[in-house]
Amino acid sequence: MNVVSNSTSRGIFWMVVTGFLFVIVNVLVKALGTDLPAAQSAFLRYAMGSVLLIPMLKEFFQHRSTRSEQKVFIYRGIVHTGAVTLWFFAMARIPLADVTAMNYMSPIYVTMGAAILLGERIKLRRVLAILVAVIGVLLILRPGFRDVGLGHVAMIGAAVCFAASYLFAKQASNTASPAVVVTMLSLWVTLGLAPMAAVSWVPPSWTEIGVLFLVACAATAAHYTMTIAFKAAPVTVTQPVTFLQLIWAVSLGAILFNEPLDIWVILGGSLIMGSVVYISWREAHLKARGQD
């Protein structure tokens, strides 16, 4: 009993750390502003982040990929390239709370994508949960009642692309180790971003380079701590903890960037998060019963 309790506590702790690190990533990118083009910022983040993958290179070079596996890596690289470019664009233009709340939609898009692309069955309860999440997005955007700019549109596109990337990662993880999957992602995204960055290259300052290196470090650490959390406790336990990201984003947005408190964004984010938690719980419940 104590083992289970300790494991659960460990999972919650590391997910709290993960959420905080992701919020730090958001704050750093927000602080960069719009002086650098989004594609260039994303390219520099991934190029410098590649240094952190050196310990994984031995396992990477020992892996022998099949042709079908390589296609999955390439497809993932393409959609993830689009995702990070749109995300960097959105981060510089809309409030931290909006980005965080809308990013919660990625698991919803994953569920929809699994049904459409992978043929997984999606039952009425999940459909209703998805509809609740869509209502949450509408509360955040409130078209007709507030200005919906390119940043919000970009964030929707980023969440969709991140969801597609997750589906490809899920497929790749069936045949490749996490080290290979992560290294392949970094390789293809860096290559994909390079020509877009070159087209509109702006000489970065040393401060901007330093901030983007911190972004790379924090993002890499976040993915690592998230893996620890998932191993220690089930998703149904760790997923609700990610709601803290919205609270931190609202607080830091107000303190650091003078962003106004928007109760509709909090309400919409709560609905989306509730839908994600329900879908995660439902999937775990059905797996425990041996059902689809």
Assign 210 a pLDDT band (cuts: 50, 70, 90): very high
Determine which of 93-97, 211-215, 281-285 has the lowest per-residue pLDDT on average. 281-285
Q: At what angle do helices 263-288 and 124-141 cross, to 10 degrees?
A: 160
For 24-39, how does the pLDDT look when each residue is reduced to its tens digit (9 = 90+)?
998 999 998 888 999 9
Residue 146 dihedral angles phi and psi, to the nearest 5°? -150, 160
Predicted pLDDT of residue 27: 92
Assign 289 a pLDDT band (cuts: 50, 70, 90): low
Query: In the chain, how many domains are there?
Result: 1
Whether 40 contacts 230, CB under 8 Å: no
Q: What is the pTM of this model?
A: 0.79
Assign 290 a pLDDT band (cuts: 50, 70, 90): low
Predicted pLDDT of residue 62: 79
Assign 3 a pLDDT band (cuts: 50, 70, 90): very low
Whether 136 contacts 269, CB under 8 Å: yes
Is 16's pLDDT higher than 70? yes
For 134-147, how does the pLDDT look when each residue is reduced to its tens digit (9 = 90+)?
888 888 888 766 77
Token look-up 């310990």 returns 55
Cα–Cα distance for residue pair 88/204, rounded to 1 Å: 16
Q: Please, is 292 exposed, middle or buried when counting C-beta atoms within 10 Å of its C-beta (0-12, 13-18, 19+)?
A: exposed
Is 153's pLDDT higher than 80? yes
For 189-207, how does the pLDDT look when each residue is reduced to its tens digit (9 = 90+)?
999 999 999 998 999 999 9
Give the three-class secondary structure for 238. Answer: helix
Of the chain, the percentage scoring pLDDT greater than 90 comes to 22
Cα–Cα distance for residue pair 109/244, rounded to 1 Å: 21
Assign 1 a pLDDT band (cuts: 50, 70, 90): very low
Assign 286 a pLDDT band (cuts: 50, 70, 90): low
For 261-277, how does the pLDDT look when each residue is reduced to its tens digit (9 = 90+)?
888 888 888 888 888 78
Assign 161 a pLDDT band (cuts: 50, 70, 90): very high
DSSP string, 245-272: HHHHHHHHHHHHH-PPP-HHHHHHHHHH
Chain-wide mean pLDDT for the chain? 83
Predicted pLDDT of residue 203: 93
Predicted pLDDT of residue 284: 67
- Cα 29 to Cα 96, 196, 200: the distances in Å are 10, 19, 19
**200 is in which domain, residue-wise?**
2-288
For 100-129, how does the pLDDT look when each residue is reduced to its tens digit (9 = 90+)?
888 888 878 877 877 776 666 777 777 888
Is 4's pLDDT higher than 60? no
